[in-house]
Amino acid sequence: MQAEAGFLFAYRGTWSVCAGRSGKGRRTTEGIFKGISKGTTAETAGTEPAGGKQMSEFSNMLEQHILQAGLSEIQLAQATGFSRSYIARLKNGQRISPDTERMTKLFDALSLTAAEYAQLWNLYLEERLGKEQYGLTRKMLSFLSSFRQVSRLEGAVRMEYALPEVSLVEGNADLAYMIRVMIEREAAGQWSAKQEVAGQRETTGQEMTGQRKAAGQEMIGQRENGRKPIGQERSHVRLFLQPECVSAMEALKNGFRMNPGFLAEHIVCLEKEKKTENITLLEMLIPVILSRRRADYRVYYYYDRVSAHLNSFSMMPYFLITGDCVLNMDYELEHGIVYRDPQIRDFFVRRFDRLAGTCRPLYERLTDEKELMAHYLQQKAANQFYCIGNQPCMGFLEAAQTIGRYLPGEMGGAAEALQGRIRSGREDMLRRGCRVTSYFTEEGIRRFIEEGIVEELPDVMMERPLSREDRCRALRELIEQTEQGFYEPHLIQERKYRYPEGVMIDAYDFDDVALYYYAKDMNGCFIMGERSLARLFYEFLEGFKDSAYVCSAAETLTYLKGWLDEEGDAPS
């Protein structure tokens, strides 16, 4: 069975989150592409490097390794399939080949060490894509890989924390401990229980009576149920802190697991100039956002140069607020001041609320499948559509209209509405001459063909797998649309990048990018509000087809035809 539902993150937008399945495919690209021409000769395939006709770091290093290997241009031509003159152009920086298979043969012939091979390969990719696109691609792939780090284990570590009776904290290790203790203690409700007991002792000046012990047991029971004691506000932390603080992010994850009612508000700074750095920031937030199905994690953002904080006249720019104290921290997270005075805490709360009021939410949360369906129905048409996932996007195919037969009966008129939206969206895109570019994996195709699993929709919206007839019909239409130029499929080469299960990104425009992640017990949606990140996702998908991580459209088409031929011969 498919995983149960998921999250939607979105820009303007819409980004969406959903989970995956597992299984091993029986087909690989090796063999099925054997002997397939790239469609160009070695002499015509190459392009000028992004920097123009000049010696680059890649061509310099390539020439050095060729000299060290003691191989002639004729020998290299025989080993790779390139002509002798083309090898010379590569060395002189006049050409950069898009043919990764032949470039791999060239590097193999040089007898490089693992470190030398990796360095030369990365320089090749940088030269081929250009520094900016190469850097963006690397960051995006790292971001996507972060979904493999999302824990799906239930439960949390529960401890009785003693907050050190100190006013000053010195050193990174001690500050990290203090941050973790404060957050997890708050999530567990321990500070309020301590206050309650202390208040009772102050009133009587004596040990708790049996009645008070019973009250104490009641408080403990409430804490175990994830609630704070009666009369106290819910467990709530406020952070003005960058997510590079690992101890804070780990504590937040554990806090959400131990207490469903835990609330965390977090203000982060997005880079105003180096915007690709914001992808790394988002990567750090993902494990916390997905730590629990309904984690009440509210992230707000503002723009600045993060490095400017280092030179700020504000010596202690960061702070963490819990129910009974405040930790004020310096930029390097080496020093902290602990405030326990209620008036000082209230001052920091007012300051945080004022700052949050000037920021924007990074995402808006949707809560159920009906809202997810509404999101699907509101998608606008585009002139160019990009998507990446484990399976090719089927939503624009005529065959997708059969999906209504597989929706649960309780969804009422949603099936008819979805069919109508697919039909009208397809007609509009054909009228506009829109081109669909889709990236997907071998394993995703295997699950679709062999098991009838459709990953574009969460399990709760699919009552049963597709029939074999409908699977073949969809695959046949995808091949036809590719041959007609409407669809451009690219198979992700799994030996070069292992794409995470269940993650999908749709890009309709620069400000309308949706990222989906469906996972067990991860039923929810988040509408993103930050547009510069949306633009980066769009640019990544736009340029990914030129990277060395995917097969060409011609190779992918041959691969899909191989599946269709095999299924056509298989018994019903």
* Contact indicator for 79, 121 with CB cutoff of 8 Å: no
Query: Does the structure show a pLDDT above 80 at 280?
Result: yes
Confidence class of residue 373 from pLDDT cuts 50, 70 and 90? low
Amino acid at position 222, single letter: Q
Examine residue 484 and state whether it is found in any structural domain, yes or no. yes
- Give the model's pLDDT for residue 404: 67
Q: How many domains does the chain have?
A: 1
Structure tokens given for 439: 């990236």
Mean of per-residue pLDDT scores for the chain: 77
- Give the model's pLDDT for residue 359: 93
Q: Which residue has the higher pLDDT, 437 or 364?
A: 437
- Give the model's pLDDT for residue 190: 63
Q: Which residue has the higher pLDDT, 246 or 274?
A: 246
pLDDT tens-digit map of 160-214: 667 888 899 999 999 999 999 999 999 988 654 444 444 444 444 444 445 444 4
Lowest-pLDDT range of 10-24, 421-435, 503-517:
10-24
Q: How far apart are CA 270 and CA 40, in angstroms?
A: 44
Task: Give the rounded percent of residues in the chain with a pLDDT score beyond 90.
Answer: 32
Lowest-pLDDT range of 49-63, 143-157, 362-376:
362-376
Examine residue 259 and state whether it is found in any structural domain, yes or no. no
Q: Which residue has the higher pLDDT, 415 or 227?
A: 415
Q: How far apart are CA 253 and CA 286, in angstroms?
A: 10
Q: How far apart are CA 329 and CA 530, in angstroms?
A: 27
Task: Give the rounded percent of residues in the chain with a pLDDT score beyond 70.
Answer: 68
Highest mean pLDDT range out of 16-20, 217-221, 352-356? 352-356
Structure tokens given for 566: 């095999």
Length of the chain: 572
For residue 490, report the phi and psi dihedrals to the nearest 5 degrees. Answer: -135, 125
Examine residue 83 and state whether it is found in any structural domain, yes or no. no
- Give the model's pLDDT for residue 143: 92
Query: Does the structure show a pLDDT above 50 at 76?
Result: yes
Question: In 200-226, which positions are buried (b, 16+ CB within 10 angstroms) versus exposed (e)?
Answer: beeeeeeeeeeebeebbeebeebbeeb
- Mean pLDDT, to the nearest integer, of 540-544? 93
Instruction: Pick the closest to residue 387 from 482, 290, 456, 457 (CA basis).
Output: 456
Confidence class of residue 525 from pLDDT cuts 50, 70 and 90? low
Confidence class of residue 321 from pLDDT cuts 50, 70 and 90? very high
pTM of the model: 0.76
- Give the model's pLDDT for residue 29: 53
Sheet holding 263-271, edge to edge: 168-170, 335-339, 326-329, 318-321, 236-240, 263-271, 296-304, 360-361
- Give the model's pLDDT for residue 274: 82
Query: Does the structure show a pLDDT above 60 at 295?
Result: yes
pLDDT tens-digit map of 31-45: 444 444 344 444 545
- Give the model's pLDDT for residue 266: 97
Q: How far apart are CA 128 and CA 124, in angstroms?
A: 6
- Give the model's pLDDT for residue 28: 54
Helix, strand or coil for residue 341? Answer: coil
Helix, strand or coil for residue 360? Answer: strand
Query: Does the structure show a pLDDT above 50 at 490?
Result: yes
DSSP 512: E
- Give the model's pLDDT for residue 516: 81
Examine residue 521 and state whether it is found in any structural domain, yes or no. yes
Examine residue 481 and state whether it is found in any structural domain, yes or no. yes
Confidence class of residue 344 from pLDDT cuts 50, 70 and 90? very high
Range of the domain at 437: 5-28+367-569
Helix, strand or coil for residue 106? Answer: helix
Examine residue 87 and state whether it is found in any structural domain, yes or no. no
Confidence class of residue 334 from pLDDT cuts 50, 70 and 90? very high
- Give the model's pLDDT for residue 207: 45
With 0-12 / 13-18 / 19 or more C-beta atoms within 10 angstroms meaning exposed / middle / buried, residue 536 is buried
Structure tokens given for 497: 């990048």
- Mean pLDDT, to the nearest integer, of 230-256? 86
Q: Give CA torsion, residues 330, 335, 339, 343, to 10 deg.
A: -20
- Give the model's pLDDT for residue 122: 84
Query: Does the structure show a pLDDT above 60 at 52?
Result: no
- Give the model's pLDDT for residue 103: 87
Q: How far apart are CA 545 and CA 451, in angstroms?
A: 28
* Contact indicator for 555, 57 with CB cutoff of 8 Å: no
- Give the model's pLDDT for residue 353: 95
- Mean pLDDT, to the nearest integer, of 236-245? 95
Examine residue 560 and state whether it is found in any structural domain, yes or no. yes
Q: Write down the H helix ranges in 7-113.
A: 29-32, 42-45, 57-69, 73-80, 84-92, 100-109
Highest mean pLDDT range out of 213-217, 458-462, 476-480? 476-480
Instruction: Pick the closest to residue 506 from 138, 16, 3 (CA basis).
Output: 16
Confidence class of residue 385 from pLDDT cuts 50, 70 and 90? confident
Residues 6 or more apart whose CB falls under 8 angstroms from that of 183 comprise 237, 248, 251, 252, 255, 264, 320, 322
Query: Does the structure show a pLDDT above 90 at 403?
Result: no
Examine residue 336 and state whether it is found in any structural domain, yes or no. no
Q: Which residue has the tokens 């990764």?
A: 100
- Give the model's pLDDT for residue 153: 64
Query: Does the structure show a pLDDT above 60 at 88?
Result: yes
Q: How many CA atoms lie within 13 A of 170 on its CB side?
A: 0
- Give the model's pLDDT for residue 220: 39
DSSP 494: T
